[in-house]
Structure 1
Amino acid sequence: MSILQEEVTRRGVIAGTGALVVSFSLTRAFAQDLAPATPLTPPVTLPGSLDDERFLDSWIRIDADNSITVFTGKAELGQGIRTALLQVAAEELDVKPEDIVLVTADTGRTPNEGFTAGSQSMQNSGTAIRNAAAQVRALLLSEAAKRFAVAPAELKSENRTVLAKDGRSLTYGELVSELMLHVEAQPQSTLKDPGALRVMGKSLPRVDIPAKVTGGQAYVHDLRLDGMLHARVVLPPSPAAELSEVDASAAEAMPGVVSVVRDGNFLAVVAEKEFQTVNAMRTLAATARWQERESLPDQTDLPAELQRLEREVGTVAEAGVLSSGDNQFEATFMRPYQIHGSIGPSCAVAQMKADGSLDVWSHTQGVYPDRAAIAEMLAMPEEKVHVIHMEGSGCYGHNGADDAAADAALIATKVPGRPIRVQWMREQEHSWEPYGPAMLMKVNASLDRAGRIASWAYDVWSNTHSTRPGGAGALLAARHKSQPFQPKPPELNITPSGNGDRNANPLYAIANKRVLWHFLPDMPLRVSALRALGAYANVFAIESTIDELALMAEVDPVEFRLHHMEDPRARAVIELAAERFGWNGPQMPKNRGRGFGFARYKNLAAYLAVAMEVEVEPETGRVRVVRAVSAIDSGEIVNSDGIRNQTEGGILQSISWTLYEAVAFDRTRITSTDWSSYPILRFASVPDSVEVHIIERPGEPFLGTGEAAQGPAAAAVANGIRNAIGKRLYDLPFTRDRVRSAVGHA
């Protein structure tokens, strides 16, 4: 397997001649060995993730055979990041994308860039790689200039070669020397002018697609290693369940069974073949006796439950003085718990080797944090745990990937020597993955006599939206051991990018406002990061309110937004989406409406506006989005098709959340354990068309794209329904029963 073969060692670096051979794991050692003593002055800030991993050879490697390897700590999650990062590196190195081998998140080889989350891959890793590549190109030109005895400006680089005007040439591989690129990056790079770009800005085919459509090794689910065993975990039937007894004898006697593993509430079976393991798991589960108790909130009164769990209040934004007036709108909006809904259940492979080291293949979004959590769970040194990212079939945040990795790692220590493959069952994924938190949003807003927003009070009740690994207590296997690890207590933390309060502060010009986050540290249901975090629900509530205020002011909703928007880039996406939709066109037919939504993701990433045509069947309550037209500003474009893919996917997923998705539970167990009890958007309900119009911003910084559509799309659906039936729906999702009730067909 190619992903297993290439090991870069310190011995190889020291012995290497005529090539740069180095990996991230060695950069600190080299810095300690080679760097002279320097005064302890604060380092200058470097672009993107270069500020954390400051040596060029953490990002770019060139070998004597003229091969080029680029390293990123970010993971391909289906967002097309491998393709975009290849384009960035190829552009600044003056090579073809196919000339580069890109290595993604791997604790043995790549920089530590934390989690692939928050739509920050291009902002952080793309920026780092682009600047590193530009500086590497400059070093190569400088070295060639010395050898040719000419000025660097008289040389040009192309196709992995530096060319002189007199015809002389040297390949990159001939120019590099040992440690040549082991230098700290500079704060400024000579990046190519926008008009000179040849690779960036083009819609190149995604490099991750071929294996997915040809049956290749696309996902960790497809990984098959020599001697691999299969394992299944018997998860508890409910969050508070305790395993009182189990008779493993029948399962152990089944064909192919190698071992039954028990450690407290952790119970698993290992067998030679996968279906043998599934059968043995079912037999083992039938003999398990669990003591259960009520630990879940009352779903019939979830708003009251969330308010009861409040322990602390943080101020997200505050300006001016709140007031009340005659033109006042007050409302309460509700978002339920929702799942990631990964089509492929979580999966991982782990192998405990003879030297005491552990290899783990996982679709985690953070290989380094996952390594730390697994090492803590197993009481192993971190350097003995090697986590390699492989894609999973579905993601969208902190799903069960890290838990499956912990399951495989724990079982591998009990059955050393052979690779152990763990895959969750569908009901386990639905019942045990960390959910997107339920949220309650209250708005009180008023207009002045001129029809402008005079006062804005916004309150959101929410848990933290991130309990990602970093400690063993984030892993189910660690919690279920006989000596369990406890999760770290969540803390209220208000930052510019936001969490449960993400996008709670409107981007509109409002002189008098107050935004509060009512923090819930207790988590009756296990929750963590789901795509867009709090932005989905906050933008839904804010943009629904904006439409109601526009109705009160008797102003068109798009015009009302523009009246309150000062940011020119925000105005541009609002105007473009409205124009391409035909917002001022003929009146909609009966039972059809038009809806609009806007946000700048996190108030610091991509700008997105979307207009939708929505159809409502009053008798059945069925809602269908007929068409969606969006406009997005993601800064400088690397791959327009990638931006379009992410925006289209975000719109469709948001439609699914908004119309269908909610976790169901009683006081003891999760009850939405399959696709029937947890419905999602089906092909028959997909819009007839989804348009994405991209505003070009040459030379501007990259902006995060992947989660920009979630909130605006939900708002556009809500506002479209309001326009179609004349009634506002406040509680997500907008199920058929809720729509029928709103139109009087209960």
Structure 2
Amino acid sequence: MIAPKPPVPLTAAPLISNWIRVSPEGEITVLSGRVELGQGNASAICRMAADELGCVPEALAFEAGQTGLTPNEGFTAGSMSVSGGGQAVRWAASAFRNLLLKAASDRLGCETADLCLADGVILRDGEPTDLEFGTLAGDVDLDRPVTEWAAPLAAETAHSADTLRLDLKERLVGSPFVHDMERPGMLHGKPVHPPSMSAELQDLDLEALRARPGVVAVVRDGSFVGIVAETEVDAISAARWARGQARWVDRAQVPNDAIQAIGASREPADIVVQTGTVDEPAGRWFETTVSRPYLHHGSIGPSAAVAQWQEDDLSVWCHSQGVYQLRTALGMVFKIPEEGITVIHRPGSGCYGHNGADDAALDAALMARAVPGRPVKVVWSRRDEFQAAPMGPGMVTRCAATVDDDGKISSMRLEVNSAPHANRPSVNGTPNLRAAAYLERPMPPAPSTDIPIARGGGADRNAVPLYAIPNVEVSKRIVHALPYRSSSLRSLGAYTNVYAIETLMDEIALELGIDPIVFRLAHLHDERAKSVIEAVDDFAGSWRREPRGQGIGWGLGFARYKNTAGYCAVMARVEVDQEIRVTDIFATADIGEVISRDGALNQIEGGIIQSMSWTLKEAARLEGGQAAAENWLDYPILKFSEVPEVAVRLLERPDQPPLGCGEISQGPTAAALGNALRSALGVTVQDLPLTRDRVMQALF
């Protein structure tokens, strides 16, 4: 059943023409503000439009992420592409269908109820007419409000959820990535990033740098240095030389231990949720404090962009997740009207969150300004990607609960301390682009205000337990007094907060001698949540029959992402000897109507594997005020040989609106692994990742 309220994106883009474009030949283009990051949302959104228009998705063209052309839907983030942007396209396509049927009924002199669409042709009483999309295009005015004409089809008329990826062929045999772009007269640029956000360039021989082979221009603006060369090889060679010659000074105050500093911070805290009275209830007291380190996005392909100036107009091609927000940020930096800037999304290496894509765009634009009329392509190095891109913030979450004499949790308190999650471009009124912070006239980022809980929260995402607990208090403290640059990483605070809540739930159940699944079900009123947990119990049935302890353990993790998106429960089996080996993972998910089954499974499986990597291995290496990793040896990630059997089952509910699924498995997977480790060894490791050293520390 389609939600009765119009999708939120229709507020800013209310017209059918904001979402649908028709050529005189009848070619239909779907317009979306949700860009393709590799998650398959373009295919899913086209599927939703095709259902309403009675055609196959392959019959539709798709345009996403271009300023001045596609709707401004903010950032492609928060697992909202299908549930927000996709629903808006569905409504717009429905309105377009009804306008077409009205135009056809006027031509044919019949009732619209006698007509339908199939494969681009108008059918009358089930028989084809000579009317098609193209022949009716001139009869239809798309500058009409979607809500006045939309009537999305009922669930029983929906498609098969086996939607194919429309972009696979191009990705496999073509060159769709921004890294591969070629334009006439193109030059190549390389930035020489300061080693930290607070480092200042003291000395660099610019004349010697300009004399390097192939160098066309050298740009210095404050502590920004960019090298433009005829070839990428020349640009790389010159940048390496410059990096070895440059002298920097950094006066920033640096903590000895960043995570300890976050946990000990006394910056102002905000009460996010307060129900009942947490201090009064009496009973047994349980508490845990968990932490996660700073994390890198670690995309296999580094950030890249192409920029070109034509007089006072700037064009940028990049893999930004928010082209309009990047345009605003670039307008701030160059002090030119936004109308003179065009930002066009081109696929890059996938990233869930805020990586260096927008920073590379500014790098390219600063360098291209030195060679007017010629495009400049910038591709960061692996070192750049580790040291210059925003990191996922370090966090410390304290979770405490009181259990009454009946074995029920009567109160729970969560205190979240975190570095910032919300430093995307043009948020908080500043560009929030790396190079902008150290230009001659710097534009440093304003202190992050974090994401309101009404929009899913940032540091406090999933800190409000879904469990039925009468007295709950949640507070968050955003820690700004650190030299490290952080922003959104897949699932934001949910990963850490779910780990805290779910490992504490297991600890309480163990102390009370209650089955962990029974204990969770007793604290849930949400029937869909119960169904997901019961389904994973059934799916991973062997876990109850296998003895635990002595190095073998099973663990459960559960959450509803943002308490509004998809539900996910994960069961993990581990074997622990010299190392932790994950042998099996079972997951169940309820994401409402499934638009693309394969796409949803890929999202959940990918989230599980990424979360495994975070939980078992990943931690940014910080030295002084900078991220110090230069290559994959400095930042180990999960190997293919370490990926276990992963099985995911969807609880399909075609009568319910689709729910976001791209980030639902991050927190439950971490919690399942932590609880499985406790099951195997009898100890809880509170500080992530679950490395051998930390396990040994917990044991001894």
Normalising by structure 1, what TM-score? 0.90
Deviation digits for residues 213-232 of structure 1, max 9, x if unmatched?
A: 33x21321111112111100
Closer/same/farther in 2, CA of residues 558 and 322 from structure 1, 3 Å limit? same
Structure 1 gap ranges (5+): 1-43
Give the match for residue 404 of structure 1.
360
Distance 1:123 1:317 in 2: 29
Contact preservation (8 Å) 2:450, 2:459: no
SS in 2 for 1:217: coil
Q: Offset of 1:124 from its aligned partner?
A: 1.2
Distance 1:220 1:246 in 2: 31
The letter for the 2-side match of 1:124 is G
Q: Map 1:305-320 to 2 at 5 A.
A: 305-320=262-277
Give the match for residue 328 of structure 1.
285
Closer/same/farther in 2, CA of residues 739 and 321 from structure 1, 3 Å limit? closer
The letter for the 2-side match of 1:127 is Q
Deviation digits for residues 650-688 of structure 1, max 9, x if unmatched?
A: 00000111111111213343223321121111112111x
The letter for the 1-side match of 2:61 is V
Identify which of 541, 549, 565 aligns with 2:500: 541
Q: Offset of 1:647 from its aligned partner?
A: 0.1
Contact preservation (8 Å) 1:327, 1:552: no
Contact preservation (8 Å) 1:45, 1:51: no
Distance 1:608 1:267 in 2: 46
Give the match for residue 463 of structure 2.
504
Q: Offset of 1:327 from its aligned partner?
A: 2.8
Give the match for residue 223 of structure 1.
181
Closer/same/farther in 2, CA of residues 492 and 91 from structure 1, 3 Å limit? closer
Give the match for residue 705 of structure 1.
661
Identify which of 361, 365, 375 aligns with 1:419: 375
Give the match for residue 430 of structure 1.
386
Q: Offset of 1:403 from its aligned partner?
A: 0.3
Contact preservation (8 Å) 2:262, 2:395: no
The letter for the 1-side match of 2:598 is D
Q: Map 1:186-201 to 2 at 5 A.
A: 186=147, 189-198=150-159, 201=160
Deviation digits for residues 134-164 of structure 1, max 9, x if unmatched?
A: 1110110111111111001111211111122
Q: Offset of 1:287 from its aligned partner?
A: 2.2
The letter for the 1-side match of 2:643 is V
Contact preservation (8 Å) 2:99, 2:149: no
In the alignment, is residue 721 of structure 1 matched against residue 692 of structure 2?
A: no
Give the match for residue 616 of structure 2.
659
In the alignment, is residue 580 of structure 1 matched against residue 539 of structure 2?
A: yes
In the alignment, is residue 373 of structure 1 matched against residue 329 of structure 2?
A: yes
SS in 2 for 1:176: helix
Identify which of 19, 30, 33 aligns with 1:70: 30
In the alignment, is residue 550 of structure 1 matched against residue 550 of structure 2?
A: no
SS in 2 for 1:466: coil
Give the match for residue 92 of structure 1.
52
Larger deviation, residues 48-57 vs 648-657: 48-57
Distance 1:439 1:368 in 2: 30
Distance 1:402 1:494 in 2: 23
Distance 1:45 1:601 in 2: 21
Contact preservation (8 Å) 2:491, 2:664: yes
Q: Offset of 1:523 from its aligned partner?
A: 4.1
Distance 1:187 1:439 in 2: 46
Q: Offset of 1:297 from its aligned partner?
A: 2.0
In the alignment, is residue 244 of structure 1 matched against residue 202 of structure 2?
A: yes
Identify which of 242, 247, 250 aligns with 1:292: 250
Identify which of 453, 475, 493 aligns with 1:516: 475
Larger deviation, residues 395-404 vs 516-525: 516-525
Distance 2:105 2:355 in 1: 52
Give the match for residue 163 of structure 2.
204
Contact preservation (8 Å) 2:362, 2:433: yes
Closer/same/farther in 2, CA of residues 187 and 537 from structure 1, 3 Å limit? farther
Distance 2:203 2:128 in 1: 80
Contact preservation (8 Å) 2:121, 2:128: no
Deviation digits for residues 397-429 of structure 1, max 9, x if unmatched?
A: 000111000101111111111110011111111
Contact preservation (8 Å) 1:374, 1:472: no
Identify which of 180, 197, 219 aligns with 2:141: 180
Deviation digits for residues 322-362 of structure 1, max 9, x if unmatched?
A: 346553212211111111111111110011124x2111011
Contact preservation (8 Å) 2:262, 2:417: no
Distance 1:185 1:307 in 2: 51
Distance 1:291 1:560 in 2: 56
Identify which of 691, 694, 699 aligns with 1:738: 694
Deviation digits for residues 60-107 of structure 1, max 9, x if unmatched?
A: 112221211110011101110011011001110111111100001110
Contact preservation (8 Å) 1:312, 1:520: no
Distance 2:442 2:618 in 1: 32
Identify which of 76, 79, 82 aligns with 1:116: 76
Q: Offset of 1:492 from its aligned partner?
A: 5.5
Normalising by structure 2, what TM-score? 0.96
The letter for the 1-side match of 2:550 is K
Distance 2:129 2:357 in 1: 52
Distance 2:302 2:363 in 1: 14
Identify which of 224, 236, 246 aligns with 1:266: 224
Q: Map 1:31-46 to 2 at 5 A.
A: 46=6
In the alignment, is residue 590 of structure 1 matched against residue 550 of structure 2?
A: yes
Distance 2:350 2:599 in 1: 17
Q: Offset of 1:45 from its aligned partner?
A: 6.5
Give the match for residue 399 of structure 2.
443
Distance 1:103 1:518 in 2: 40
Identify which of 652, 664, 680 aligns with 1:696: 652
Contact preservation (8 Å) 1:228, 1:418: yes
Give the match for residue 41 of structure 1.
none
The letter for the 2-side match of 1:652 is I
The letter for the 1-side match of 2:634 is S
Distance 2:388 2:281 in 1: 45
Structure 2 gap ranges (5+): none
Identity, % of aligned positions:
43
Closer/same/farther in 2, CA of residues 310 and 102 from structure 1, 3 Å limit? same
In the alignment, is residue 560 of structure 1 matched against residue 519 of structure 2?
A: yes
Q: Offset of 1:294 from its aligned partner?
A: 4.2
SS in 1 for 2:453: coil
Closer/same/farther in 2, CA of residues 289 and 177 from structure 1, 3 Å limit? same
Contact preservation (8 Å) 2:200, 2:250: yes
Closer/same/farther in 2, CA of residues 547 and 627 from structure 1, 3 Å limit? same
Give the match for residue 301 of structure 2.
344
RMSD: 1.8
SS in 1 for 2:233: helix
Q: Map 1:7-18 to 2 at 5 A.
A: none
Deviation digits for residues 249-304 of structure 1, max 9, x if unmatched?
A: 333222221111111101011111111110011112222121123433222x7334
Give the match for residue 36 of structure 1.
none
Q: Map 1:158-177 to 2 at 5 A.
A: 158-165=118-125, 168-177=129-138
Distance 2:511 2:309 in 1: 66
